Amino acid sequence: MENERILYPCYFDSTLTREEGRRVPLKKGTKHATLIELEKALLRCKIPYRTEKKAHPAFWYKFDGRAIVQWKEQKQKLIRIVSDHLEHR
């Protein structure tokens, strides 16, 4: 897992609070973010990734999936870049 970062759709979900797992400002998020939207944003960024059908530990009952991204820098920088390429609803 060296040089890889895991991104969950809940990081970008504007319907969630920070305590519930959102990691972006409300303006940068999207309502009910999905793995498909996350994949589209990663494709726009041209960042290599793969997906898995896994659940976020806080939402162990929801298998929304996750993206495993090839990234050497800080995770927060990756989250900012991806949120800039999301389709905001």
Domain boundaries, the chain: 4-84
Instruction: Compute CA distances 45 → 51, 60, 73, whole Å.
Output: 16, 29, 15
Q: Which residues in the chain land under pLDDT 70?
A: 1, 88-89
Kindly indicate whether the domain formed by 4-84 is annotated with CATH number 3.30.70.2740.
Answer: no
What are the start-end ranges of the E strands in 1-89? Answer: 4-7, 49-52, 66-70
Identify the pLDDT of residue 1: 64
Rounded to 5°, angle at Cα 8 from 7 and 14:
115
Tokens encoding 79: 């989250």
